[in-house]
Amino acid sequence: MFSNRDLFGALFLSVVAGFLIFSIFTIHPFGFPNTPEMDDYIINNCQEETGANNGVTSVVFDYRGMDTLGEATVLFTAVAAVVMLLRRVKKND
Amino acid sequence: MNFLETILIHSPPLIVAIPLLAAFLTPLIGKLNEKVRNGFVILCLLANTSLVFYLATDVLNNGLHTYIFGAKESTLPIVRIFFEVDEIGILMAVISSILSLLVVIYSWSFMKKSTGLSKYYTLILLLTAGMLGMELTGDMFNFFVFLEITSISSCALIAFWTDRGLSIDAAFKYIVISTIGALFVLFAVALLYGQYNALNMAFLAESIPVNFTFIDKIALVVLLAALAMKAGIVPMHMWLPDAYGRAPAAVAVVVVSATLASLYGVLRICFTLYGGIFNSIYVSSQAIGGFIVILAILTMLIGVLMALRQSDFKRLIAFSALAEVGYMFLGVGTRLASATSVTSYTDGSSMVTFPAYSKTALAGSVFHIFNDALDIGLLLLVAGAVYYATKETSMNKLGGLARNMRYTTVFFIIGLLAVSGIPPMNGFASKLIIYESTYQLNPLLSIIAVLSSIMLLAVFVKVFHSVFLGPSQNKFKDTVDVPKSMLISMAVIAGIIVFIGLFPNIVFDNLISPAVDALVDNSEYISSVLGGGV
Amino acid sequence: MMAYNLPYLAVVALVIIGLYALLFRRNLIKMVIGITLIESGVNLFLITLGFRKDSVAPIYTGAPSSKSVMSLPVPQALTLTSIVIGVAVLALMLTLVIHLYRHYGTLDSGKIGGEK
Amino acid sequence: MTEMSKIVKTITNIAFPFVLIYGLYVISHGHLTPGGGFQGGAVVASGLAMILVAYGSNWAIKKVKEKDLSIFESLGAIGFISLAILGLIFGSVFFKNFLTGKEILFGKIPEFGSTIANINTAGVIPWMNFAVGLKVIAGLFAIVLVMAYGTRHLKGGA
């Protein structure tokens, strides 16, 4: 009663579950990041370098500004895509 | 420093910023009138391509460019985003910018009668920016963001003909596969961040070989699986023929270069991020290499066998593109699988020695990426031209077009010879290198590779006969050849193909082999960031 | 060590349920929901990596006491980006589902691929 | 989507100004309190979507043309990327925060005990917050508007 597609799917699912569970248990325990020196650097001098009180906003707009530029582009692409796909198509080709 | 010097120093971000700025301006300019917008888009891409060429000449002459965003010099715990432009990255950027420039010129008249063109050009510019960002960035999370931009914009472009159910279905398959791949890339980036608290590729490449934990193995497998899936390897290849076959021809060419950008991602992960591992630990490189070689052979065979059965012109070219992806993975797999002996030193570190042919295998695959982007691009543009002139894609209805579409027939012959690797064209050079090197790994591989090339040639000769030769049909009596803008872009690609075909050593020596040297040992990639960047 | 990793189990549960919905369900809307589940699972994983035991949000307004530990800001910025990417992908997929429903009249992914 | 009853419309009229003010607060105080361009823009866009649901898509289509939204969205995006390029021109590196430490608007560096009052800090970040906020408001509302219009004749709604 299991078609081979289901068996293949179940196999794939269990392999991914195995990977996930094993990597979850060997990563650093929750609440105790083991080498947070990059984030400590940001926490300690985000006020002088970027002038923002909010550490996360200083990371979003100044330390990792290119991510947010990519971010704004993703949203711009999605809006352009949705507007293009839902345009009124006249019968041309 | 004169103007050109500053432009050169700031060129990595500008290469990504110019298409983005053009994409944001296009809807506004589109409100003025059509011609101004088309001209503006072509102008921006022309400027961008010349900037890429200018940076390429500088990177090939005096090495790697590093660019830090937001500060002049890097702090010790690397906090900011780095753009690292080395030879392989700029080579892929050259391919992407050439193809997108020619596609925009091609779609000036190919898409003239369609609606929603402002958004169409915006999405092509965004796709170009996404690809170039993927190829230049040196930061893992930034790579994920640009990967996402590329998949969203190419999915929307695939679904451009919204009145056809098949295009929408192809786009839905593409976006589901791309999103799953991107999410697993994000999961692997989160694993690496959780382990080393760093997102910079050079810092990770240096700290991963120090203690190669099991989490790094999982991250490696997840990254390779996700990026190979997006490059169209066998078990998850079904989206590729649908995407290329059912999208407008101009869009299919840009999606080809987006797929090759994901393939660049596989190279970057294999040889830069985990380069230290594959040079020292003998078993993992041979295991993964063997697995990739098997998948590559399967991709080749499935691509060619399915191409034999197709009756639709574009879908046939799509399956031959799938077969070509098999060649590229074959080269990469041979490089990894050919690790022979491990000499372990006293201080516990070990060095894997690779035979001579393994480096040429990788060179063959990088050269084939460069050639194949042009060959498949030309064939898709020819298919678009045939569709533009006759509004027909299934080959049994087509016939006798050679009489009145003279130029397109010439371009098709050039593309046909190039894809199936026949001497005068560029496909031959790269496929010959791949045959040679894989023969030394295992003769069966290169036999299958040669066989599938021959079958590809047979398929395309059949296509040439049924579409271009044969009795001239009355309903195609008055078909005139395609307008000038389409001919120009096809002519440029054909010219490049013929040039590479006649002088392969020029292109190989000063474009491909520095790229392979940059790939094979990542020490220069790491030292330029951690040794205090520019 | 076991007790500390319970939040990660939520991540595994979300990703597995999302994958299950994607692989086994035929209805298009359920597949889109599956992808959103995986999306939120990976975002949750990114956030839980950046937590420190009894820490405060990394914000200096209102002068937090100098000895309070702050949670890591970088994963929160990454999650912000990946949430907006999730919204963008969701909007695109739903637009395609609207078109597929309008063109094929059904949401069953089995009947959609045919030549119609 | 069909129009809602009178009660829903009056409640929306009362609630929308508060949502709008809160959203603009989140955008403009991004560098002081948790929030920023994306979060604030999403709050305002949800307020606008509330109006769209209450008054029905036909009323909304007459009131708001998709063309104007795309103009606002492009302006926001161009504002954001030109701030990055200005960083290149003034601060000699792409995405440089060239306004910190200057005495012009948003130029000061906050000391340790700063409260929510001193908004005049964080250099180019507040400008970027405004640009991204404008873009997110126009973008998300355009998506909701076009989808409402796209599915209008699917269910034969008014």
| b (16+ CB within 10 A) / e for B264-281 | bbbbbbbbbbbbbbbbbb
Contact B145 A67 (CB under 8 A): yes
For chain B, how far is it from start to end, CA to CA, in angstroms? 16
Nearest CA in chain A to D142: A79
| C60, C95, C98 ranked by CB distance to D112: nearest | C60
A86 to chain D, closest Cα gap in Å: 6
Domain boundaries, chain B: 281-517
User: Looking at B12-99, which runs of residues are DSSP E strands?
Assistant: 65-68, 82-85
What is the count of residue pairs from B and C with beta carbons less than 8 Å apart?
75
Higher pLDDT, D90 or D41: D41
Task: Give D36's contacts in chain C (Cβ within 8 Å).
Answer: 80
Contact B165 C112 (CB under 8 A): yes
What's the rounded Cα separation, in Å, for the pair C32 and C39?
11
Which segment of B383-392, B475-484, B509-518, D80-89 scores lowest on mean pLDDT? B475-484
As a whole-number percent, the residues of chain B with pLDDT over 90 amount to 50
Q: Which residues contact B506 (CB under 8 A, 6 or more apart)?
A: none
Residue B534 confidence class, pLDDT cut points 50, 70, 90: very low
* Chains in touch with C (≥3 Cβ pairs < 8 A): A, B, D
D94, D96, D143, best to mutate vs chain A, most A CBs in 10 Å: D143
**Residue B108, both tokens:** 């000036």
Q: Mean pLDDT over residues B235-249, rounded?
A: 90
- Torsion sign over Cα C66, C67, C73, C74: positive
What's the rounded Cα separation, in Å, for the pair B52 and B11?
8
What does the DSSP 8-state code read for residue B509?
A: I
What's the rounded Cα separation, in Å, for the pair B453 and B447?
10
In order, the DSSP letters of B99-146 are: HHHHHHHHHHHHTTT-S-HHHHHHHHHHHHHHHHHHHHB-BHHHHHHH
| A6, A17, A56 ranked by CB distance to C24: nearest | A6
Nearest CA in chain A to C62: A53
**Residue D125, both tokens:** 């970040």
Coil, strand or helix: which one is B382? helix
Q: Is the ipTM of this complex over 0.95?
A: no
B176, B223, B394, best to mutate vs chain C, most C CBs in 10 Å: B176
Task: Give D78's contacts in chain B (Cβ within 8 Å).
Answer: 21, 24-25
- The interface residues of chain C toward chain B in range 50-69, judged by CB-CB distance below 8 A, are none
What's the rounded Cα separation, in Å, for the pair C9 and A32?
17
Nearest CA in chain A to D113: A53
Confirm or reject contact between A5 and chain B (CB < 8 A).
no
- Surface-to-core class of residue B255, CB atoms within 10 Å of its CB (0-12 exposed, 13-18 middle, 19+ buried): buried
**Which whole-number Å values give the CA distances from B75 to A38, B82, B529, D48, in the listed order?**
10, 12, 10, 43
Reading phi first (left if > 0) and then psi (alpha if -120 to 50, else beta), residue B421 is in left
Kindly report the length of chain A: 93
Task: Give C82's contacts in chain B (Cβ within 8 Å).
Answer: 144, 186
| B20, B70, B196 ranked by CB distance to A73: nearest | B20
Q: Maximum CA pair distance of chain A?
A: 66
Task: Write the pLDDT tens digit of every residue in B458-493.
Answer: 999 988 888 888 777 777 777 777 888 889 999 999
What pLDDT was estimated at residue D158? 38
B79, B149, B212, B246, best to mutate vs chain A, most A CBs in 10 Å: B79
| D36, D113, D151 ranked by CB distance to C63: nearest | D113
Task: Give C87's contacts in chain A (Cβ within 8 Å).
Answer: 75, 78
Coil, strand or helix: which one is A86? coil
Residue B346 φ then ψ, to 5°: -65, -35
pLDDT above 60 for D49? yes
Of B92, B53, B60, B86, which is closest to residue B370 (Cα–Cα)? Answer: B92
Nearest CA in chain C to D118: C61
H helix or E strand, kind and range, residue B72 = none
Q: Does residue B103 contact residue B250 with C-beta atoms inside 8 Å?
A: yes
User: Looking at B33-109, which runs of residues are DSSP E strands?
Assistant: 65-68, 82-85
Contact B169 C112 (CB under 8 A): yes
Of B324, B322, B337, B370, which is closest to residue B438 (Cα–Cα)? Answer: B337
Domain boundaries, chain A: 4-85
Task: Write the pLDDT tens digit of every residue in B160-197.
Answer: 988 888 899 999 999 999 999 999 999 999 999 988 88
Nearest CA in chain D to C83: D38
What pLDDT was estimated at residue A92? 45
Kindly report the length of chain D: 158
Residue B341 φ then ψ, to 5°: -120, 150
A35 to chain D, closest Cα gap in Å: 25
For chain C, how far is it from start to end, CA to CA, in angstroms? 57
Q: Mean pLDDT over residues B104-126, rounded?
A: 90
Confirm or reject contact between D7 and chain C (CB < 8 A).
no
What pLDDT was estimated at residue B262? 94
* Chains in touch with D (≥3 Cβ pairs < 8 A): A, B, C
Of D36, D60, D28, D27, which is closest to residue D142 (Cα–Cα)? Answer: D60
Count the Cβ atoms, other than its own, within 10 Å of residue B501.
21
Q: Does residue B152 contact residue A81 with C-beta atoms inside 8 Å?
A: yes
As a whole-number percent, the residues of chain D with pLDDT over 70 amount to 89
Angle at B58 between CA B55 and CA B63, to 5 degrees: 115
Contact A78 B152 (CB under 8 A): yes
What does the DSSP 8-state code read for residue B398?
A: -
H helix or E strand, kind and range, residue B347 = none
Which segment of B150-159, C17-26, C102-111 scores lowest on mean pLDDT? C102-111
The letter for the amino acid at B228 is A
What's the rounded Cα separation, in Å, for the pair D40 and D27?
5
Residue B284 φ then ψ, to 5°: -70, -35
Task: Write the pLDDT tens digit of every residue in B24-54.
Answer: 999 999 888 888 999 999 999 999 999 999 9
Strands B350-353 and B65-68: unpaired
- Torsion sign over Cα B247, B251, B257, B259: negative
Task: Give B116's contacts in chain A (Cβ within 8 Å).
Answer: 84, 87, 89
Task: Write the pLDDT tens digit of every residue in C70-99.
Answer: 888 999 999 999 999 999 999 999 999 998
Task: Give A84's contacts in chain B (Cβ within 8 Å).
Answer: 116, 119-120, 123, 156, 160
As a whole-number percent, the residues of chain B with pLDDT over 70 amount to 98
Count the Cβ atoms, other than its own, within 10 Å of residue C26.
13
Q: Which residues contact B94 (CB under 8 A, 6 or more apart)?
A: B52, B53, B56
Residue C111 confidence class, pLDDT cut points 50, 70, 90: confident
What pLDDT was estimated at residue D154? 57
pLDDT above 90 for B236? no
Topology of the domain covering C3-52+70-104: Helix Hairpins (1.10.287)
In order, the DSSP letters of A34-80 are: S-THHHHHHHHHHHHHH--SBHHHHIIIIITHHHHHHHHHHHHHHHH
What's the rounded Cα separation, in Å, for the pair A13 and B17?
40
Task: Write the pLDDT tens digit of every residue in B334-364.
Answer: 888 887 777 777 766 777 778 888 888 999 9
Count the Cβ atoms, other than its own, within 10 Å of residue D156.
6
The letter for the amino acid at A91 is K
Task: Write the pLDDT tens digit of every residue in D132-155.
Answer: 999 999 999 999 998 888 777 655
What pLDDT was estimated at residue A93? 43
Of C106, B139, B507, which is closest to residue D95 (Cα–Cα)? Answer: B139
Q: What is this structure's pTM?
A: 0.94
Among all chains, which residue has been given the structure tokens 């049924």? Answer: B466
Task: Give B194's contacts in chain A (Cβ within 8 Å).
Answer: 27-28, 33
Task: Give B172's contacts in chain C (Cβ within 8 Å).
Answer: 28, 93, 96-97, 100
| D78, D82, D93 ranked by CB distance to B70: nearest | D93
Q: Mean pLDDT over residues C3-31, rounded?
A: 88
What's the rounded Cα separation, in Å, for the pair C115 and B242?
12
Contact D110 A51 (CB under 8 A): yes
What's the rounded Cα separation, in Å, for the pair B203 and B139?
10
Contact A66 B139 (CB under 8 A): yes
Q: Could you write out the three-class secondary structure of chain D? A: CCCCCHHHHHHHHHHHHHHHHHHHHHHHCCCCCCCCHHHHHHHHHHHHHHHHHHHHHHHHHHHCCHHHHHHHHHHHHHHHHHHHHHHHHHHCCCCCCCCCCCCCCCCECCCCCCCCCCCCECCCHHHHHHHHHHHHHHHHHHHHHHHHHHCCCCCCCC
Task: Give B21's contacts in chain D (Cβ within 8 Å).
Answer: 78, 81-82, 85
What pLDDT was estimated at residue B528? 83
Q: Using an 8 Å CB-CB cutoff, list residues of chain B that contact chain C.
A: 141, 144-145, 148, 152, 155-156, 159, 162, 165-166, 168-169, 171-172, 175-176, 179-180, 182-183, 186-187, 190, 193-194, 199
- Surface-to-core class of residue D14, CB atoms within 10 Å of its CB (0-12 exposed, 13-18 middle, 19+ buried): exposed
Q: Using an 8 Å CB-CB cutoff, list residues of chain C that contact chain D.
A: 57, 59-63, 80, 84, 87, 91, 94-95, 98, 101-102
